[in-house]
Chain A
Amino acid sequence: MSEAIYSPQEERVINKKEPVNINRATSLIGKVRGVKPQIDIERGLFFTRSFRETEGEPLIVRWAKALLLYAKESTIEIEDGQLIAGRGGIAGRYGILYPELDGDTLGINIEKLPGRATSPFDISEEAARIVKEEIEPYWKGKTYHEDLKAALPEDTRRLTYNPDEEASSRFIVNETSSFRSSIQWVHDYEIVLNKGFKWIKEDSLNRIKELDEDSAYDMMEKKPYLEALIIVADAIILWAGRYADEAERKAAIEGDEARKQELLQIAANCRKVPENPAETFYEAIQSQWIVQMFSRIEQKTGTIISNGRMDQYLYPFYKADIEKGTITPFKAQELLECVWVEMAAFVDLYLSETGGAFNEGYAHWEAVTVGGQTKDGLDATNDLTYIILKSKRDFPLNYPDLAARVHTRSPRRYLYEIALTVKDGSGFPKIINDEEVIPLLLSKGAAFEEAYDYAVSGCAECRMPNRDTYTSPGAYINFGAALEMTVYNGKMLKYGDELLGLQTGEFTEFKTFDELLSAYLLQQKNFIRHAFRQQYQINHLRARHFATPLGSALSKPSRDSFTDLHQEHVPGGIDLGYFEFIGFGTVVDSLAAIRKLVFEEKRITLAELKEALEHNFEGYEVIRELLKNAPSYGNDDHYADEIGLLLDKEAGDFARKYGKEFGVHIDLRYVPFTSHVPFGKVVSATPNGRAAFTPLSDGSSASQGADINGPTAILQSNYKTKNWSNNYRAARLLNIKLSPACVKGDEGTEKLVDFIEAFRDLKLWHVQFNVMNTETMKKAQKNPEEYRDLLVRIAGYSAYFTELSKELQDDLIARTEQQAI
């Protein structure tokens, strides 16, 4: 073979090449990269103390007061060399506690954390003692997690939790609302930068004056709401002010004159923002970060409140500074990267093993969105768009995640720079398609200017600041398990004799493929049915457990209606929920194989197949080979794709029919996080030749290694398995692994642009790339020390390969690498 062709990232990691652009932030990376995170308990402790004092008060006020106590009492620290202030924990990489979520099992989980296989954390002995003696006892019996468990009907509960004390996940119909208090969304950062918290406070004070004292509703609902906004404004202003104090203190004792001036500048920034409107790029970025960070303190929105369209709301400040000559592109990039380092220092800590398994590699997605269209529907690309893309090529860090919106009038240069960034090989950016997202948002009730202004939030979600108001996390459903229940008549090998699903008939007795397919579809529907029952309870219960005064202050529908964002319905908002189809490729391929081999070619019988599955193909290798070589999803093969289309239709139709009862758009999605790995661990061998307890297929990607017709075919299969006429659908996550040889040179860049444009014209929602040699991952698995810096793309985010579990590493290696022929 000729010499291997490496991506720029592989060059850096394997050949130890230095990053090209060295600045202040580059020197800060070492403090966060490859460091095992520590737990900082202050957030958990001050919230506990405050909540103990405020029992009986309205929830939103209690939340605001807890934030105020935190702002007053928390340790304030500015890292040496940092240009940006605002952190939620001790030096280095840290995670914080949210005991309102799962404080009842805090003690057990804290003990397990340091040794956990996926995303471990360390905690000091003193901190562990405080958790056990002060924090946990208060929350026992009060957490959301306990309430939800009790509120689920028995049959739903059985599909949701194991019958153990912690109620660990069954990984069948998996609720995700108790390892996070909310799904993430996007704040209205423009109001922060342009009006400041002073305005929010004054506005709330004025509106209190206008309340009707005779109205009980005004006094009992609106007044506490407005008071909470005032408290939270005070809290964040106080918190920023304490950073100003600390910066001044450090400046006073700083020997180095240059650093002293920097500290004084930090102090001046934090005195001014986020209380007042920002006037410079530096102030704007500081203001945004303080708000970002404080919302992490406020609550655990799964995968973090996103950064929104940074190239849009920061651009006016950048442009003004450039015109005044007070900033350079280099300096702007450096400031952004200083924020990236702070984002990476904070780690979204999942205490439960389920949370950890869903978010391997310390996943968090405070996505930055670039490109797309303006509120007026014109192309939105600007100089800052290119600086942020460049930063992703220059700066080897996995946070924040970067999403690039594309549309039919995206400029050529923008598409090229996206392609160049993809070619770097660290997985950025993910590409999100305006041509699919915007029509869907419009069809769900958004106005044009709102739909054009969506920002990517989290993995592949798209949220409209000031319009989206749904915050309940949705169900992740293991349809591999539904398939297994079709084989074992409602049971699963892993769970023995326990009847978990429907009794759809003895597998070996099905006379036609249609009979068997109908049985599967009943199992599928049954899961969705239970997911909807879960969701129904979740919607009700969350409002009693969670409040978000900060988030509400930065949402117009919330302010206008005096309604906390975590309430079931916020007047004036649009509620977009979802449920996830996990294991799509696995199920489609299995059904296609059965149809072909059992009912059409009659090469095997259902009895032989079942026997082979029960034995995990040991001694049945011939059957396994036949199954593996049957038609499969991801090859633009109508035979398999028409089954996929039917499964999608059935699931989507259910959502369309019953979502309405919720008043919520519960959309069908295909976004796995890393759940296809733990889900696979409960599913025995499947009729596509997949071995027992190995990962399911991920997102809308093909089964590992099943896509043999190249990357164009996997896009086509996606296109052809979507029910375009049903708008109860949202994101589909698609991973493509390309060898660096495919994108080599200018010609490679050009053809990657062609590919991205075709993706756009096929109106697929999302695509992301791993441009890497499979060999590199195999080497990293063997010598993790040498490859600590190797970033890989997983499921809407990038993470360090060596921080992933062996199973997920194997899964990434098994994904088909598309070669150039």
Chain B
Amino acid sequence: MKDDEHLLIFNIQKYSLHDGSGIRTVIFLKGCPLRCLWCCNPESQSVERELIYRKTRCIGMDKCGLCKKCAPLGTIKQGEDGKAEIDIAACTGDLRLADICPSRAIEIEGREITIDEAIDIVRQDEVFYRGKGGLTISGGEPLSQPGAIGLLKKAKEEFINTAVETCGYVNEDRLLTAAAYLDQIFFDIKSVDEDKHRRFTGSSNALILSNIRALKRTYPDKAIRVRTPVIPGFNDKEEELSAIEDFLASIGINEWEKLPYHTYGVGKYEMLGREYLLPTQ
């Protein structure tokens, strides 16, 4: 979203237990500047709304088949299991296909909500936060959307604990502005090797590294936890990881968490009609 009154989100997850302290509500904002090959939320990357097809929910074309009547010619055929096989990427131009599907097998990823609507949803679970839990914004890169600042600000007005999960590839001013309204920052650093970073995420790491420095310098007492997804063949070697560790030590960050690689997101690539490029074994 370009304006700062609205957010484009792809999910809201209540009772979230692993995205900061306490019980949290995570709002997932859509759109990310990076294209990490291992990304487990591929539906978070595009800034456009798009269709996703969850085949397991399809009840079969013999019983239903409504999608075939509406989709572009040649994009849908019946699979051996009777379910629809859909070239979903080719259908994504017309989102109305999602309204047709009675079993919500075809759904739209991405919906617009106002900041007030988002805060109302966050406040629904206030009783569970108990001063520790609260709102986490995640993505995608949540700080890509200008509305994220307004959301965090509003949350602080309601005295709700706030956290962000950021890839760090954001405008420095916006990051520093956001940080003023954040209680916890989860900051991803994937690699300090510029070349590798480009190959595996599609972008340079220069902005990310300068942002973490600026963040630490501006907010020396802020709870910042750096996270590194450990990806086989990318950064899982001892020297890669110790390079990150050395870098963090040099800027005075000692909260560092390594996240094990997983392939839970692989299925979603298929649902979006895309290809997962890393080995799955």
Q: Chain A: residues with CB nearer than 8 A to chain B?
A: 1-2, 621-623, 625-626, 628-629, 636, 709-713, 716, 742, 747-748, 751, 754-755, 757-758, 761-762, 818, 820-821
- Number of B residues whose C-beta is below 8 Å from A? 26
Which 6 pairs, one residue from A and one from B, show the smallest C-beta to C-beta distance? Answer: A710-B15, A625-B102, A625-B103, A621-B63, A758-B128, A626-B102
Question: Within residues 56 to 111 of chain B, which ones have a CB less than 8 A from any CB in chain A?
Answer: 59-60, 63-64, 66, 102-104
- Residues of chain A lying within 8 A (CB to CB) of residue B16: 821
Q: Name which residue of chain B comes closest to A597, CB basis.
A: B102
Interface contact A820-B63, CB-CB below 8 Å? no
19 pairs, CB–CB < 8 Å, chain A vs chain B: A621-B60, A621-B64, A622-B66, A625-B59, A625-B64, A629-B104, A636-B14, A710-B13, A710-B14, A711-B15, A712-B15, A713-B14, A716-B124, A742-B17, A754-B23, A755-B23, A757-B130, A758-B23, A821-B16
Q: Which of A1, A748, A757, A762 contacts B17 (CB 8 A)?
A: A748
Question: Is residue B132 contacting chain A, with contact meaning CB distance below 8 A?
Answer: yes
Q: Does B168 contact A (CB under 8 A)?
A: no
Are A821 and B124 closer than 8 Å at their CB atoms?
no
Contacts of B13 in A (CB 8 A): 710, 821
Closest to A757 in B: B130
Chain A's closest residue to B25 (CB) is A712
Question: Is A712 touching B23 in the complex (CB atoms < 8 A)?
Answer: yes
Q: Which of A622, A625, A758 has the most CB of B within 10 A?
A: A625
Inter-chain contacts of B264 with A (CB < 8 A) = 1
CA distance A117 to B59 in the complex (A): 33
Q: A628-B103, A821-B15 are in contact. List 4 more A-B contacts (CB 8 A).
A: A622-B64, A712-B23, A716-B125, A747-B17
Residues of B near A625 (CB, < 8 A) are 59, 64, 102-104
In the complex, A337 Cα to B231 Cα: how many Å?
Answer: 51
Please give, as numbers and ranges, the residues of chain A lying within 8 Å of B127 by CB-CB distance.
758, 761-762
**Residue-by-residue, is B7-51 near A (CB-CB < 8 Å gives 1, otherwise 0)?**
000000111111000110010000000000000000000000000
Q: Which residues of A contact B22 (CB under 8 A)?
A: 751, 754
A202–B235 Cα gap in the complex (Å)?
A: 85
Cα distance A747–B264 in the bound complex, in angstroms: 23
For B128, the chain A residues whose CB sits under 8 A away are 712, 754-755, 758
Known: A711-B15, A758-B127. A629 touches B132 (CB 8 A): no
Please measure, in the bound complex, the distance between the C-alpha atom of A628 and the C-alpha atom of B105, giving whole angstroms: 13
> Is B237 positioned at the interface, with any CB of A under 8 Å from its CB?
no
Instruction: Give the residue name and chain of the B residue nearest to A628 (CB).
Output: B103
Chain B contact residues: helix, strand, loop or mixed:
loop
Whether a CB of chain A sits under 8 angstroms from the CB of B199 is no
Which residues of B lie under 8 Å from residue A758 when comparing CB positions? 23, 127-128, 130
Q: What's the least CB distance linking B121 to chain A, in Å?
A: 9
Q: Report the bound CA distance from A622 to B102 in whole Å.
A: 6
Residue from B64, B103, B104, B262 having most chain A Cβ neighbours under 10 A: B103
CB distance from B12 to the nearest CB of A (A): 9
Cα(A181)–Cα(B125), bound, Å? 44
Q: Is the CB of A636 within 8 A of B124?
A: yes
CB contacts (< 8 Å) of A626 on chain B: these are: 102
Chain B residue nearest to A744 (CB atoms) is B17
Residue in A757, A758, A761 whose Cβ sees the most chain B Cβ within 10 Å: A758
B133 within 8 A of A: yes
| A751–B66 CB distance below 8 A | no
Q: How far is the CB of B267 from chain A (nearest CB, A)?
A: 12
Of B13, B17, B18, B127, which is in contact with the most chain A CB atoms at under 10 Å from its CB? B17
- Chain A residues with CB below 8 A from B130, complex form: 754, 757-758
**Chain A residues within an 8 Å CB radius of B59:** 621-622, 625
Known contacts A622-B64, A754-B132, A758-B128; is-contact A629 B15 (Cβ 8 Å) = no
Residue of A nearest to B60 (CB): A621
Contact of A629 among B23, B64, B102, B124 (CB under 8 A): B102
How far, in whole Å, are A757 and B130 apart by their CA atoms in the complex? 8
B118 to chain A, nearest CB (A): 15
> Does the CB pair B18–A821 fall under 8 Å?
yes
Q: Choose one: A629, A709, A742; the contact of B14 (CB below 8 Å).
A: A709
Determine the chain B residues whose CB is within 8 A of the CB of A762 once the complex forms.
127
- Among B15, B104, B133, the most chain A Cβ lie within 10 Å of the Cβ of B15
Shortest beta-carbon distance from A764 to chain B in Å: 11
Instruction: Across the interface, name the chain B residue whose C-beta is closest to A626.
Output: B102
> Residue among B13, B102, B125 with the most chain A CB within 10 A?
B102
A621 to B59, CA, bound (A): 8
Residues of the A chain whose Cβ atoms lie less than 8 Å from the Cβ of B17: 742, 747-748, 751, 820-821
Chain A: CB-nearest residue to B127 = A758
**Is there an interface contact between B102 and A754, defined as CB atoms closer than 8 Å?**
no
Q: Give chain B nearest CB distance to A617 CB in angstroms.
A: 10
A712 contacts B125, CB within 8 Å? yes
* CB neighbours of B124 from chain A (8 A): 636, 716
- In the assembled complex, which residues on chain A have CB atoms less than 8 Å from the CB atom of B15? 710-713, 818, 821
Residue in B18, B128, B264 whose Cβ sees the most chain A Cβ within 10 Å:
B128
- A742 and B15 alpha carbons, distance in the complex (Å): 10
Q: Residues of A contacting B60 with CB < 8 Å? A: 621
CB distance from A422 to the nearest CB of B (A): 15
Residues from chain A with a CB closer than 8 A to the CB of B102 are 622-623, 625-626, 629
Residues of B within 8 A of A621 (CB): 59-60, 63-64
Contact of A754 among B14, B63, B103, B133 (CB under 8 A): B133
Which residues of A lie under 8 Å from residue B64 when comparing CB positions?
Answer: 621-622, 625
Considering only residues 111-152 of chain B, those with a C-beta below 8 Å from chain A are: 124-125, 127-128, 130, 132-133
Distance, CA A758 to CA B26, complexed state (A): 18
Which of B63, B125, B133 contacts A622, CB < 8 Å? Answer: B63
* Chain A residues whose CB sits within 8 angstroms of the CB of B23 once the complex forms: 712, 751, 754-755, 758
Chain A: which residue is nearest B263 at the CB level? A1
Instruction: With both chains docked as a complex, state the minimum distance between the C-beta of B206 and any C-beta of chain A, in angstroms.
Output: 32
With a cutoff of 8 Å between Cβ atoms, the chain A residues found around residue B125 in the complex are 712, 716
Docked pose: A762 CA to B124 CA in angstroms? 12
Q: Among B14, B104, B132, B262, point to the contact of A2 (Cβ < 8 A).
A: B262
Residues of B within 8 A of A742 (CB): 17
**Shortest beta-carbon distance from A715 to chain B in Å:** 8
Assembly CA distance A712 to B132 (angstroms): 16
> For the complex, what is the distance from the CA of A636 to the CA of B102, rounded to whole Å?
22
